[in-house]
Every structure is written in structure tokens, then in C-alpha cells.
Amino acid sequence: MPDNRPFIIAAYAITWIALLGYAVRLYRARAEAERRLQRATEDLTGGPT
Amino acid sequence: MTWKDEWRRVWAIVWKDLTTERRSKAGLNAVAFMGILVLLLFGFALGPDTEALRNAAAGALWLAILFAGVLAFNRSYQLELDGGALESLLLYPGARWAIYAGKLIANLVFVLIVEAVVVPVAMVLYQVSLPPGWPALIGVTVLGTIGFVTLGTFYSAMSSRSRAREVLLPLLLFPMLIPVLLAAVESSASLLGGDPMSEAGAWVRLLGAFDIIFLVASLLAFEYVIEV
Amino acid sequence: MGVTTAGMTMAPAAKSRSRGMLMGIGAFVLLAAMQAWAISISVADRDMGHLQKIMYVHVPAAWNMMIAYFVVAIASLRYLWKGQENDDLLAASAAEAGALMTGLLLLLGMIWAKPTWGIWWTWDARLTSSAVLFFIYVGYLILRAFVDDPDRRAQWSAAVGLLGALNVPIVYMSVRWWRTLHQPQSSPRTLDPNYTMGLRVNAIAVMLILIWFIKHRYDTAKMERSADQLHERLALSGRGGINA
């Protein structure tokens, strides 16, 4: 029985890096969009004050 | 608007585009030379081995047609855009598909003329002799060209009006054309090898199906692409 | 009055965000648990050793890729039919997640191919058509990046998305005719029931993550669009100077 452990570990590592990496990117993009939306709303309504 | 009127519009666009090409000739010459240049480059890349060249001939020829043809499609709309002619074309009454059909036929004639120059050069450069079944070979070439031009005309309607059009068209077009490339290369290779229609038949049917499916889809979708 | 409008816009967003975060974390925890379970129950194969464990990530990526592209096709069709911007944003979100799944699928396929066949890449039907699919949808995303006008971008990418989806079976068929040396479709029927179960639960866990990806991307795109629209209104009303 051949030892394929490096390949299996690489496969799982790549899966998690890809999925978590994209999740982090999405989270940042969303925070940025929220900030932009809030700023635009404040500009339009004359600010939070 | 009757069908007859639409067809007159189609032919008017075909006539206008082909006349423009005939008057300038620079476009046709440049595209044909590009095709020959690609053939030459493939010859150098593959080395002078006659047998290897002969085996690669069908593939190299189709890639040369693809690389050369892709230069023609953007030009077809670019000429309209430069003079602001596309807006006036859209202002005329009538169906949008007539514009697509006109551009399609004009591009088809253009690419077929380029092929009439490039194919004989390929046969000389790669030392391929005309097989007994050469009429079938012409049929395969025309079918493959229809598929190529159908999608090329459709995608260049977008790419020519976007930023970075030179990069965008091949990026969108080439992945979509892989079935055409496979079918055209496989069937022309088997016909060149003196193969009776037995093996090429399935590929020819695939080419025909591809042409019909994307011709219908492009005619339907063109309206959404050209209006905005 | 200004405060209430701003407050009303922001409160639901913050609430849905924390709910969305919870769902995302839940999906990832579930995937970790399902992977651990599937690995623990799977037995070593006589010829391939523990290599089939790669299937627990490879096959879910393939199935979810198809789901994502199915969403792209349906949303594109609906956009052309009804002309609502939301469908365009949904198609774009699904295309991004689908391209991610396809990229992952290709990498995992290569990692599986190396110890199995001794080569990183083989021109077989499914591998090659996945690569073509990847390029078709990367082209779709690049087109979106190169077109600025929202209406134009939506119409064009809907057309490209639909034609791309139409081409998927043709590409697959043509590549299969061209060359076939892949093992038969890894259909669950011929296999050990535990292995099948492992594939299915992992596919469901990845699907939850996919849904979360698409929803999150969609919400972000909607927020970006409403921020753009607010800016347009601001420019039109000529009150752009207030905070400046």
C-alpha cells in the first residue's frame, strides 16, 4: 500500500485555504461596501449630527 | 416590416461592409498575412521534420485561421464606431437580428476569402497533397468557419465597445470555440489521411449541431447586446 | 429626520450581517466535522491506499461547481426575461463562487492524478472540460470587470453567461469523443455505502458554504449598487458639497 499522505494533506490544505481565503475576501468586501453605503447615506441626509 | 424588408436590410449591410473592405483592401491583406505568419511560426516551432509537419497540418491551419480571424471581428464594428455609424444604424426601424445577420454574412465572406489564401499556403508549407475526398474537406472548412464566425461576430459586438477590446475578444471567444476546434481539426485530419467519412461523420454532425445551436442563440440574444 | 433615515438603513444591515456570520461559521464547522467523520470511516483501498480520501473534497467541489453554474444560467435567463438588476447581481455572485469551485476542482484533480496515474495532467474528458468551463466563466468575470455601465454590464454578461451554459454539454461531449481514459463516472451506486454517505454529507456541507458565499457576495453587490445610486442622487441634487 503506497503512502499517499503528502497528496492527501495537500488536497485538504488547498481546500481550506481556498474556501477560507475567499470567505475573508468576501468579509472585507462587505465591510467596505457597508462603510461606503453609510457614508453615502450620511452625505445625502446631511450627516449623522 | 415584412421578411422581405428585413432581408433587404441584411443584404444592404453585407454589401456596405464588403464594399468598404474591397475599397481599402488593407484589412484583408493584413489578416491573410497574419494567417500565413502563424503557419510559418508553427513550422519553425515544430521543426523541419516532414512527417511531424504533415501530422500537425490540420491543427496548425485551424489555429492560424482562429488567430487571424479574431483580428477581423473587432475591425468589423470598429469601422462603424469610428464614424458614429452604429447609432444611426440602430435608429432605423426594423429588427435587430438583421444587423447581426448582415455582419455575420460579411464576416463569413471575409474569413472564407482569407482561408482561400491561407489553406493553399498551408498545403505547400506542410507538404500536404490534396486527398481524393477534397469536396468533403471544403464542406468541413465551411461548417467550422460558420461556427467560428457566428460566435466571433456575436462576442465582438461587445468587446469592440468595451475597454481592452483586443484582449477581451479572444478571452471570451476561444474557450467557447473549443468544440469547433476539436471537431474541425479531427475531421479535417481524418479526411486528409484519406479516411472515408466513417470517422469524420460524427464530427461533422457535431459541427452542424454547434452551428445551428449558436446561430439561433446569437440571433435571439443579439438584441440585448446591441441595444445598450 | 436625517438620523432616523440613516439609522433605519443601517440597523437591519448590521443585524443580517451578524446572522450571516453565524451561518458562515456554522457551515465551515459542519464541513470540518463531516470531513473528520468521512476520513475516520473510510477504509484504505488495496491499490490506491488512502488516496480516495481526496474524493471527499474533490467530488463535492465538482457537484457544487455544477450547482453554481446552474444558478448563473437561471439568473441570466431571468434577467433577460424580467430585466431586474437583482438577477444580474445573483448571476455574478454565483459565477464568482462557481469559478472558485472550478479552480479548486482542477487543483484537487491534479493532486489526485499525480499518485494515481503518475502525471499531473491528462487530457481526459471531465478534467479538460472542467478547464474549459473555468476559462468560460473567468472570461465572464473579466467581461464584467471591463464594462462600467451597469445596464450594459448586466445585459452583456447575461448573454455571455447563457451562451456559456449552453456550451457546457457540447464541450463535454466533444472532449469525450476526442479522448477518454478516465475511470467511469464515480457514481455512488457501485461503491461502499459508507463512502457514498461520506461524499454526500461533504457535498452538502460544501453546498452550505457555497450558498453562504453567494448570499454574502450578493448582499455586498446590492450595497455597492445602492451606494452608487445614492452618490448619483447626491450629484443630481447638487448637495455634494455638504460634507466636503
More confident residue, A18 or A40: A18
Q: pLDDT per residue over C112-123, tens digit each? A: 888 888 888 888
Residue C204 at interface with chain B, using a CB cutoff of 8 Å? no
**For chain A, what's the residue count?**
49
Residue C49 has phi, psi (to 5 degrees) of: 65, -135
Whether residue C45 contacts residue C51, with contact meaning beta carbons closer than 8 Å, is answered with yes
| Confidence band, pLDDT 50/70/90 cuts, at residue B1 | low
Q: How far apart are CA C158 and CA C183, in angstroms?
A: 35
Residue B84 has phi, psi (to 5 degrees) of: 65, 25
For residue C185, the number of C-alpha atoms closer than 13 Å in the C-beta half-sphere is 6
Residue C182: pLDDT over 50: no
Residue of C136, C151, C166 with shortest CB distance to B213: C166
CB neighbour list of residue C38: distance below 8 Å, 6 or more residues apart:
C53, C56, C198, C199, C201, C202
Beta bridge partners of C45: C49
Q: pLDDT per residue over B111-131, tens digit each? A: 999 999 999 999 999 888 887
Chains that touch A (3 or more CB pairs under 8 A): C
ipTM attached to this prediction = 0.86
Q: How far apart are CA C216 and CA C20, in angstroms?
A: 8
pLDDT of residue C55: 85
Q: Which domains does chain C have, with CATH numbers?
A: 19-42+50-229 (1.20.120)
Residue B196: pLDDT over 60: no
Judged by phi (left if over 0) then psi (alpha if -120 to 50, else beta), residue B128 lies in beta
Residue C159: pLDDT over 60: yes
Flag if A12 and C44 touch (Cβ within 8 Å): no
- Collapse the DSSP code of C49 into the 3-class scheme (helix H, G, I; strand E, B; otherwise coil) and give the result: strand
Q: Taking an 8 Å Cβ-Cβ cutoff, which residues of chain B contact chain C?
A: 151, 154-155, 158, 162-164, 168, 171-172, 174-176, 178-179, 182-183, 186, 202-203, 206, 209-210, 213-214, 217-218, 221, 224-225, 227-228
B152-180 b/e (C-beta count within 10 Å ≥ 16 → b) = bbbbbbbbbbbeebeebbbbbbbbbbbbb
Q: What ranges in chain B are assigned the alpha helix state H?
A: 3-24, 26-46, 50-82, 85-91, 97-125, 134-159, 165-176, 178-192, 197-226
pLDDT of residue C132: 92
Whether residue B155 contacts residue B169, with contact meaning beta carbons closer than 8 Å, is answered with yes
Q: Chain B partners of C173 at a C-beta cutoff of 8 Å?
A: 179, 206
Residue of C138, C147, C151 with shortest CB distance to B162: C147
Judged by phi (left if over 0) then psi (alpha if -120 to 50, else beta), residue C210 lies in alpha
pLDDT of residue C238: 66
Q: Do chains B and A have 3 or more beta-carbon pairs under 8 angstroms?
A: no
Among A39-43, C22-26, C237-241, name the one with the lowest average pLDDT.
Answer: C237-241
**Dihedral (CA of C107, C111, C112, C114) sign:** positive
Q: pLDDT per residue over B64-90, tens digit each? A: 999 999 988 888 887 777 777 777 777
More confident residue, C39 or B182: B182
CB pairs under 8 A between B and C: 85
Among B16-20, B77-81, C137-141, name the one with the lowest average pLDDT.
Answer: B77-81
Residue B56: pLDDT over 50: yes
Question: Which contacts of C147-154 are long-range, i.e. CB under 8 A and separated by 24 or more positions?
Answer: C147/B158, C147/B162, C147/B163, C148/B163, C149/B228, C150/C85, C150/C225, C150/C228, C151/B228, C152/B228, C153/C88, C154/C79, C154/C85, C154/C88
Q: Chain B partners of C159 at a C-beta cutoff of 8 Å?
A: 154, 158, 221, 224-225
To the nearest whole Å, the CA of A44 is away from the closest chain C CA by 6
Residue C190: pLDDT over 70: no
Alpha carbon B162 to its chain's center:
21
- Cβ atoms within 10 Å of B210's Cβ, excluding its own: 25
Judged by phi (left if over 0) then psi (alpha if -120 to 50, else beta), residue B129 lies in beta
Hey, which residues 69-108 in chain C have their CB within 8 Å of chain A? 97, 100, 103-104, 107-108
Flag if C242 and A30 touch (Cβ within 8 Å): no
Flag if B227 and C155 touch (Cβ within 8 Å): yes
Flag if C51 and A4 touch (Cβ within 8 Å): yes
